[in-house]
Structure 1
Amino acid sequence: MPTTEITPTHTRPSHSSSSGSSTTREKEKDAEINVTTTSRPESTASDRTTVPVPLSMKLISILLVSLIGFGGHWSSGVTGAMKSTLKKELKINNTKYALLTSSQDFMVTVLILFSGMWTDRVGGASAMLYGNALFSVGSILIAGAAQCRSFKFMIFGTVVESLGDIATQVAQYKIFSSWFPPSAGFAATLGFELGIGKIGSFVGKSSANIIAKNTGDFAWVYWTAVFMNIFTNVATLVFWFFTKYANKKFHGTNDPATGEKLTESNKKFEIRKVLELPWTFWMVMLFTAFQTSTAIVFSQNSTELAEQRFNVDSIKAGWYSAMTQYIGFFLVPLLGVFIDILGNRITVFAVVGLGCFLAMILIAFGKTVGATAAAFGIYGVAYSFGPTVIIDGIRTTMHYQGVFGSAYAIKIAINNSMNIIIAMITGALQDADNDSYDRAVIVYAADSAAACCVVLVMVVLCFRSVDMRSLQWTRKQRIARGHIINERKEFNTTGEQYERNKKISGVFFGLVCLLIVGAWAAYIWGAATGNNY
């Protein structure tokens, strides 16, 4: 049936370097949208017998996935809030606690890359169904370990839980990428889901010590997490049936700028495309390696830090740290809408990097109550903005949406590897410093400083390269310049820059592998020096 579509104008790639030339800049300024009346492509029979996905169905999918994520975020907020209680009840030190929190990270680094490619192959809904079921089994084991006060058993439960988490981490964002293109709802969808997730993390972190104190047994905190995971499994099952229905009745979505058809699952494993990700993607990976690791490790320790700096009990400290980290939940959906419409992703990267660095500097060198409170507030805003712009940045820099699951899995592998290394280092420093954070917070500051350096490089490259500058484009600019995106895609994947881009991606892949091995070494070192737990 005839429809009006935005058809990108395709031209041969200009034989220039990745740095933006004057010709490219003129194309950016003069690009126009070529709107024509065409027939819908007749590539598959399903496209002829189905209709486009309506907005109402997309909204239902967002709501269901957000409900699923709520339970996972609730559970993630528990362990960090219970650090001092776990150390006391399980009779462990900071190194052992770092080993506990790193056990899940360790399993993720081992399997997440395979999980990403598997998710691309089978689709996000199926991966979430099996992953959440296994995650729930792990949560039951952790609750049992808390009940019998067994550190070894809790390590085992954490490993089992991580096997489910590995499958679900990639799946939900893979689903979003198959329904929403960049600058056409993807960032806004992320923002909504992450905002709901922050509410879940806030509830989990702020209520953990309250539940432990009022019940007289901290194990009830983990049993509550089990009940939450049962709810998550029900929501996942509903979403799985919803997806099967939607796939039969509706056909896929096309990117309005490039014309690319978005898919949830592939007919085969696209290993070559994974190994040849664009250099702009790896710049985003460099940023998240430092910024996200700082944010996650700091979040795991912020409650105990608040206890020491504010001189309050664990309940009040849990409230303080939860409020500062998650009170900005309402800003996250707004940021998503801002990115979708106005772009300026590099600008947001800079805000996140500088905000996190300033917070860590205040934490490291401003040891007063006022300085710590200000640091928590600044960190809360920067932390709220980070995940949305990073995930959207990954999607926007990619040439092929079909391997988004694998690309996001690389991010998770990098983050978890860095988490293990930083957690082990800071845990050992804290043990050597009589349980003080005076030395550990210097590592946080150095890590965030590295993220700022990456941002500075991105800003410079934004003026020199159209590939990086495209992250700044607004929705209108991206649609108008869709032919430039396709031109650069061809130039980097089959043109003169193909070999160069392939080598750059190969080098970064090698560095990721070295980072993962380093994380394994740090984890094994933590186990070996954990006083024979």
Structure 2
Amino acid sequence: MADDTSDSKSVDVVSAPVREDIKTPSEEPSDNSDDSDGRKPPPLAAKLCAVALISCISFGSHWSSGVTGAMKSTMKKEMHIDNVQFSLLEASEDFMATVLLLISGVITDRVGGAQMIVYGNIVYTIGSILVAAAATVRSFDFMIGGRIILALGDIATQIAQYKMFSSWFPPSNGFASTLGFELAIGKIGGFIGKSTSNIIASKTGNFAWVFWTAVFMNLFTNAASAAFWFFNIYCNRHYKGRRDEATKEQLTEKNKKFEFKKMFELPWMFWAVMGFSIFQTSAASVFSQNATELAEKRFNVDSIKAGWYSSLSQYAGFFLVPCLGVFIDVLGNRASVLFICGLGMLLSMVLINFATSHAGTGAAFGIYGIAVSFGPTSVIDSIRTTLWHQSVFGSAYALKVTMNNAMSIIIRIITGALQDADDNSYRRVVQVYLVLGAGATVVGAAILIGSFVTDNLAPLQWTRHKRLTSGAAVIERIRERSLVTQRERTRKISILCFAALLLLTVGSWVAYIWGAVTGHNS
């Protein structure tokens, strides 16, 4: 980043050699660029309908994903497993994601998000049925298999829904707002699923009913997916392709070919945002897994009350998420939001480590609930803002989720082993959370400072007015510098970051295999 800062404003783009294969966004071919057939851009009502349908899909999937973490104590008791085995169960989905998610992102860019959502949710439902059956017969090995199949469906749908958003809305013109709305609906679904899971288990006398309830919710998700698929077909027939008014780039749902070359031209700004996400998202993921049991121990309450406490800490800030999306779309300041999110994560983890009283833990959970609400929208929108080509957003987001899942596997296995070695205590586990929170704060601060000293990161702070009025020229200048003048450096940085991600992924596989061995031998 320091190298870019020193020469970012002194490059003479006019004198740079022009490559014929580098086209401006307005010149890039598109599957949906036919303006001569009388079709008009989709109206606001169609866009809102698309957001509503995808949000329904998100509601069901988040409901299911919040269940297992809330049932940690119950599952360990009923299925006779330890912390390493539970961490292995949670890491099974992450493991499959690291193996197949990147491939899924490339395929989604090629074939489109609508079809991937439908197929993914069908597979996800089959996996959820197997998980519920495994809970019924109390089989840990069976549940591992079900979670792996469930992950195959989740892999397809994770990328597809955000790919659809990127094809309907450009940055600073609805993308962050729709993300915020969808994530808020997802948080509501996750809150209901997590907070009611122990109540269902207690009232029915069998925790397996929690997973069967998730199956019924997945059937609702499938119905919403089918409705969205038909709606998308209708829109493609009646409306022309969407366009980024700032850069004139044609937004596409699917590409004419696989864009492998563009994947190796991802800017270093994208990898900077990835550096923040590896700490913040991984910390949030692993902390959420253990929050219910931690609440049981810190507050001295049963699993039902602890489920409510942990659900509030994770989902209570849902009302902030759509507001944050609108704020980012209109006023920008993405780098500022990233830093505030990292700082909030650090403060909450400091309290978790050093303020172990009821009041201190309650304050930590409250700060965490606000801080974690700032993360997903700002990270995903920042990734979209730093990309040169919307056509590879699915692949870029797949890199992000692959990295987070790989990191989560490693952290989950480590914290599970630490907890088992520490007599089921969280004394050393919370120190890992503290390190991750500190990492997020440091990277967030670096991005924020960089946004003021280099024009490469400046677009993260732009307001909507700035991007629409004068942003196109600046973006094109940065793009030319990255893809023409300093093309080799861009490729080297991208390849180096790809290699680091590959090493992290391989490390997560080693951790997963180690967890499988030690978990089954415990």
TM range (shorter): over 0.9
Residue of structure 1 in register with 2:352 after alignment: 363
Contact 2:11 2:481 (8 Å CA) reproduced: no
Contact 1:17 1:497 (8 Å CA) reproduced: no
Cα deviation, residue 197, structure 1? 0.3
Are residues 1:410 and 2:399 paired?
A: yes
Residue of structure 2 in register with 1:53 after alignment: 42
Contact 1:291 1:451 (8 Å CA) reproduced: yes
Contact 1:18 1:467 (8 Å CA) reproduced: no
Cα deviation, residue 22, structure 1? 7.6
Cα deviation, residue 47, structure 1? 2.5
Are residues 1:238 and 2:204 paired?
A: no
Aligned pair in 2 of structure 1 residues 45, 367: CA closer, same or farther (>3 Å)? closer
| Structure 1 stretches lacking a partner, 5+ long | 1-15, 25-37
- Matches of residues 285-304 of structure 1 in structure 2 within 5 Å? 285-304=274-293
Cα deviation, residue 460, structure 1? 2.6
- Taking the aligned partners of 1:42 and 1:450, their CA distance within structure 2 comes to 40
CA displacement 1:157-210 (0-9 Å, x = unmatched)? 000000000000000000000000000000000000000000000000000000
Are residues 1:191 and 2:184 paired?
A: no
Task: Return the letter of the residue paired with 1:465.
Answer: T
Contact 2:33 2:241 (8 Å CA) reproduced: no
2:375 aligned to 383, 386, 395, which one?
386
Task: Return the letter of the residue paired with 2:190.
Answer: S
Are residues 1:115 and 2:93 paired?
A: no
- Taking the aligned partners of 2:140 and 2:465, their CA distance within structure 1 comes to 55
Contact 1:19 1:466 (8 Å CA) reproduced: no
Cα deviation, residue 464, structure 1? 2.2
1:170 aligned to 155, 159, 174, which one?
159
- Taking the aligned partners of 2:445 and 2:282, their CA distance within structure 1 comes to 19
Are residues 1:505 and 2:494 paired?
A: yes
Are residues 1:254 and 2:243 paired?
A: yes
- Matches of residues 178-327 of structure 1 in structure 2 within 5 Å? 178-327=167-316
Task: Return the letter of the residue paired with 2:473.
Answer: H
CA displacement 1:18-66 (0-9 Å, x = unmatched)? 7443899xxxxxxxxxxxxx9xx99978422211111100000000000
Contact 1:20 1:464 (8 Å CA) reproduced: no
TM-score (norm 1): 0.92
Are residues 1:479 and 2:471 paired?
A: no
Residue of structure 2 in register with 1:3 after alignment: none
2:53 aligned to 60, 64, 89, which one?
64
Task: Return the letter of the residue paired with 1:509.
Answer: F
TM-score (norm 2): 0.94
CA displacement 1:312-346 (0-9 Å, x = unmatched)? 00000000110121111111000000000000001
- Taking the aligned partners of 1:62 and 1:383, their CA distance within structure 2 comes to 22
2:117 aligned to 122, 128, 133, which one?
128
Task: Return the letter of the residue paired with 2:403.
Answer: I
Cα deviation, residue 386, structure 1? 0.3
Task: Return the letter of the residue paired with 2:85.
Answer: K
Q: What's the C-alpha RMSD, in Å, of the aligned pairs?
A: 1.6
Residue of structure 2 in register with 1:27 after alignment: none
- Taking the aligned partners of 2:35 and 2:107, their CA distance within structure 1 comes to 25
Task: Return the letter of the residue paired with 2:509.
Answer: W
Cα deviation, residue 523, structure 1? 0.1
Task: Return the letter of the residue paired with 1:521.
Answer: V
- Taking the aligned partners of 1:229 and 1:45, their CA distance within structure 2 comes to 36
CA displacement 1:209-253 (0-9 Å, x = unmatched)? 000000010000000000000000011001001001101111111
> What is the count of residue pairs matched by the alignment?
502
